[in-house]
Structures are given as C-alpha cells and as structure tokens.
Amino acid sequence: MKRIYACILIVAALLGISLYSSGRVQGFAQDISADLDCALEAVRQKDLPTARQALAEGAELCDTMRQTMSHLLRTADYTELEAALRAADGYLEQQATEDALGELRRAQVEVERLEWLARRLV
C-alpha cells in the first residue's frame, strides 16, 4: 500500500511541477509579446528610443528565463529570441527600420513556438 501512495505522490509532484513550469513559460510569453507589441508600435510611430527600451526589456527577460528555466526548455529557445531582439535593437540603432521589423517578426515566431512548447509541458 505504501508503494501506491508513493507512486501517487510522485505523479502529483510531477503534475504540479509541469503546471508551474507551463504557467511560468506562458507568463513569459505574454510579457515578451507585450514588449514586442510596444516595440512594433513605437517603430511604426518612429519613436525609436521607446522601441529600443522595449527591446532591451525583452532581451533582459530572455536572459533571466534562460538562466532560471533552462532545466525545462532548451536554452537555445531563449537564445534565439534574445538574438532576434538584440538584432532588431542594432538595426534601430542604425536607423534601419525595415530590417528591425523583420527581426521583430522573427521574434514573434519564436514567442509563438515557446508558447506551443509550454502547452506541451502539461
């Protein structure tokens, strides 16, 4: 009987960890999506300092998630997203808005992929 209780406890713990992790990654995806939307809108409005600030916040979020959640998802998932955000920031620094918009679209695809992976965790 003790083995059954132990198995139930292990399954419950794994389910709890899975739900926590999925929620954390989905929350990250929502936060990063808000930063991307802000950056896109700022680029369209020609407000480059605001766009660069949103990109810097998004890149910092990626760095934090890569360090704290690397046991759940590959670090390459966060690294690709962070690279797209930093590339967009570099393009904005050079006043190349079309290239920056391309990198922002690439970042959006990465966020959607992370959301899909988070749903698979549960």
What does the pLDDT look like over 36-88, one tens digit per residue? 999 999 998 988 899 999 989 988 888 888 787 766 666 677 788 888 999 99
Integer Cα distance of 58 and 16 in angstroms: 27
pTM of the model: 0.77
Q: What CATH code is carried by the domain that includes residue 98?
A: 1.20.120.660
Residue numbers of the domain that contains 96: 2-121
pLDDT value at residue 9? 93
Q: In the chain, how many domains are there?
A: 1
